[in-house]
Amino acid sequence: MSAKKEFRILSTTAILGYGYPLESFERGMARKPHLIAVDAGSTDPGPYYLGSGKSFTDRSCVKRDLRYMIRAGVQSNIPVVVGSAGGAGARPHLDWCLEIVREIAREEKLSFKLGVIPADVSKETVLAALRGGKIKPMDQVPPLTEAVVADCTHIVAQMGPEPLMEALKLGCQVVVAGRCYDPAVFAALALIEGYPEGLAVHLGKILECAAIAATPGSGADCAMGTLTEDSFILEALNPVRKFTVESAAAHTLYEKSDPWHLPGPGGELNLEQCSFTELPGGRVEVKGTRFVPTPSYMLKLEGARCTGYRTACIAGTRDPVMIGQIGPILETVQGQVDRILKDEKVGGKIFAHVYGKNGVMGALEPLKTTAAHELCIVIEAVAPTQAEADSLCGIFRSTLLHYGYPGRISTAGNLAFPFSPSDMPLGKLFEFGIYHLMEASPTALFPVTVEELG
């Protein structure tokens, strides 16, 4: 353990680019943190961003968030660590974020050592591991095949804290990494300082969403975590928020299926002896979390592949006669469209998502009838080419628009369209082809490079 009695971590926002009040950030800086860190990515927005190499966050918003963090960190000699750069954390996303960092350094006339850690994994590496029996699927995921690997545009691995620790040990004042295990950016420096891994990673698990874990929660506000030798303390940096036992425990279980064992790179958090205690001032103290290493070090792989093209159309109806029989109407229209597609040899699939009835849960919706006075119908066409998706969407839309269902009084115009043109080509459709675990070294896949800025 280092001479420090406590280790303070400032988490700025739930995802880089979501923003945070400058007042909250300044309160955090007044506490003299030892680390400023932020998670910049997620798979929550779906596979499109990994597959396409595009960010799901706005560039100007990311630059605003980073400007305050980097300027304050460099001027105060506090390391700044960013993980899952650009959203999905592949090389295009990392380069996108690095360009912003370099712009800030020039504009603010800052000089610092920048650590860069890509998270891309080559197809050759994945194939070698697959052939060597070192890859296994996550729950509910089919076994990986060589064909799927070949189809993926980008493949990344979620790095643990070890590559980040390497960059920090090299004296990097700002570290920008590709795809990361979310808690890693918050835990890495604390692990160098000798704090318990279970507590450091658990704290990172909560801080990665910043003030979402407080109440009332917000994805666009800061939070502070303080590590000690046997606990960590959570506190909000905005007087309108506070941490409670309920909010801290709830976020510990966020996105987890097992409340006692939280897996990650190289091991799992064991919460069987974990306790949450409310402290004065809207703070919560957490104790008892242990890190249990696994027999082999496993990394989560993520890879996205293009499976076609998509076109969508948004339409509404307020006809109670149509609403009362929307299920049979859509089934009949689907049958008519299928016959046309077969005759015209147009490939693809059509989906009608009925919001106001079962648009969220689909066939799993337990309420089979609706009392809604209006419905939103999102028509989704998926096909091998954009032209086929456009045709498929147009055929279904026009057929439904003029379909003569029982009880209809008007002779046309079943649907109302909020936009013109009504049909929106959405481009390539991606899916996660790789969502698997691979046995690997903690650092071998993640080379660290150092760049002197200024």
User: 332-378, pLDDT tens digit by residue?
Assistant: 999 999 998 888 888 899 999 999 999 999 999 999 888 999 999 99
352 in the same domain as 248:
no
292 in the same domain as 183:
yes
Per-residue model confidence as pLDDT tens digits over 103-154: 999 999 999 999 999 999 999 999 999 999 999 999 899 999 999 999 999 9
**In this structure, is residue 308 part of a structural domain?**
no
What DSSP element (H or E) covers 75? helix 59-76
| Adjacency order of strands within the sheet including 290-293 | 261-264, 267-270, 290-293
Per-residue model confidence as pLDDT tens digits over 158-212: 999 999 999 999 999 999 999 999 999 999 999 999 999 999 999 999 999 999 9
**In this structure, is residue 365 part of a structural domain?**
yes
209 in the same domain as 275:
yes
191 in the same domain as 68:
yes
Per-residue model confidence as pLDDT tens digits over 4-18: 489 999 999 999 999
Q: How many domains does the chain have?
A: 2
Residue labelled with tokens 């309108």: 240
393 in the same domain as 345:
yes
Distances (CA, A) of 258 to 262, 271, 364: 7, 10, 23
**In this structure, is residue 143 part of a structural domain?**
no
**In this structure, is residue 307 part of a structural domain?**
no
* Token output for 364: 């799993």
Per-residue model confidence as pLDDT tens digits over 272-298: 999 999 999 999 999 999 999 999 999
369 in the same domain as 262:
no
Domain of residue 73 covers 7-122+157-302+445-453
115 in the same domain as 71:
yes
Please report which residue ranges of 214-370 form alpha helices under DSSP H.
Answer: 245-252, 320-324, 326-344
**In this structure, is residue 129 part of a structural domain?**
no
Is the pLDDT reported for residue 93 higher than 80? yes
**In this structure, is residue 190 part of a structural domain?**
yes
163 in the same domain as 76:
yes
* Token output for 59: 């560039």
332 in the same domain as 298:
no
**In this structure, is residue 188 part of a structural domain?**
yes
**In this structure, is residue 421 part of a structural domain?**
no
378 in the same domain as 264:
no
292 in the same domain as 164:
yes
90 closest CA partner among 157, 151, 38, 137: 157
Distances (CA, A) of 72 to 21, 65, 90, 100, 418: 15, 11, 27, 16, 46
